[in-house]
């Protein structure tokens, strides 16, 4: 199964995430200090059925990643999610 990590800012320097599968909430957490921390926590909570995840920041999907990539490149994936969302928001103004 490929799940979705839905990451959102909740206040200055604080983020929450939800892990969903086909729109159903599997688990979530809030109060993490970075997008990367959300990706790491979400990845750690995945069960054996998950093979990868779509990463969405502020509702914008930046990519689909294999489990190994999520674990090894969480900082780069977080940066990519932020840059993708900023580019989309800028283009839509």
Q: Dig out the tokens for 33 from the structure.
A: 């200090």
Q: Dig out the tokens for 55 from the structure.
A: 């990463």
On the question of pLDDT at 84 being above 90, the answer is yes
Contact (Cβ atoms closer than 8 angstroms) between residue 63 and residue 80: yes
Q: What is the pLDDT of residues 31-69, one digit of tens each?
A: 999 999 999 999 999 988 899 999 999 999 999 999 989
Distance CA 8, CA 20 (A): 14
What integer best gives the mean pLDDT of the chain?
95
Model pTM? 0.94
């Amino acid at each position: 199964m490929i799940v979705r990590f839905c990451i959102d800012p909740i206040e200055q320097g604080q983020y929450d995430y939800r892990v969903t599968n086909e729109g159903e909430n599997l688990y979530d957490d809030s109060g993490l200090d970075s997008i990367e921390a959300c990706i790491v926590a979400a990845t750690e909570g995945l069960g054996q059925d998950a093979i990868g995840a779509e990463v969405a920041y502020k509702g914008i999907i930046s990519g689909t990643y294999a489990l190994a990539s999520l674990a090894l490149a969480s900082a780069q994936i977080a940066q990519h999610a932020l840059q993708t969302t900023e580019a989309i928001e800028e283009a839509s103004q």
